[in-house]
Amino acid sequence: MTAEQKLSQLGLQLPPPPEPKGVYSPLVVAGKLAYTAGHLPVDGQGSLITGRVGAELDTEAGYHAARQTGLAILATLRRHLGSLDRVRRLVKLLGAVNCTPDFDRQPAVINGCSELLAEVFGPQAGVGARSAVGVASLPLGVPVEIEAIFEID
């Protein structure tokens, strides 16, 4: 099953691809690699999800925000590549979690994005290397920012 078919089968709706919030490209292709800029979580209407994990948001809400960020990444891939079927595999995911100093469940939060990509691209192609880190703040008060590197054809 292709990634586009899987997305449809799962009943997932992609948000509008996010517009840059500064001077950068949302996606850069270099050879067979597609690098995404850091993506922020948006809800189904395209509004930013905000809050700090460990304060206003719990782990589950952070997970949901990371999943929504994954959908935004997929929307960017589709816009710039024409189809998610051009993705061969996820190479690397980097997730930053805006959290309180005592919060230590960053990997559980970023799993929201990781599990989405594994669902869409499959357990081999959708799982790559990953880092999940906690930070003191993120742009516009969002709970997560995620960037990814994909191998494409």
Q: For the chain, give the mean pLDDT.
A: 96
Mean pLDDT of 19-39: 95
Strand bridging mode 87-98 / 27-30 = unpaired
Q: What is the 3-state secondary structure of the chain? A: CCHHHHHHHCCCCCCCCCCCCCCCCCEEEECCEEEECCECCECCCCCECCCCECCCECHHHHHHHHHHHHHHHHHHHHHHHCCHHHEEEEEEEEEEEEECCCCCCHHHHHHHHHHHHHHHHCCCCCCCEEEEEEECCCHHHCCEEEEEEEEEC
Mean pLDDT of 138-145: 97
For 81-107, the pLDDT digits (tens) are 999 999 999 999 999 999 999 999 999
Chain centroid to Cα 77, Å, comes to 11
For 46-76, the pLDDT digits (tens) are 799 999 999 999 999 999 999 999 999 999 9
Mean pLDDT of 33-45: 93
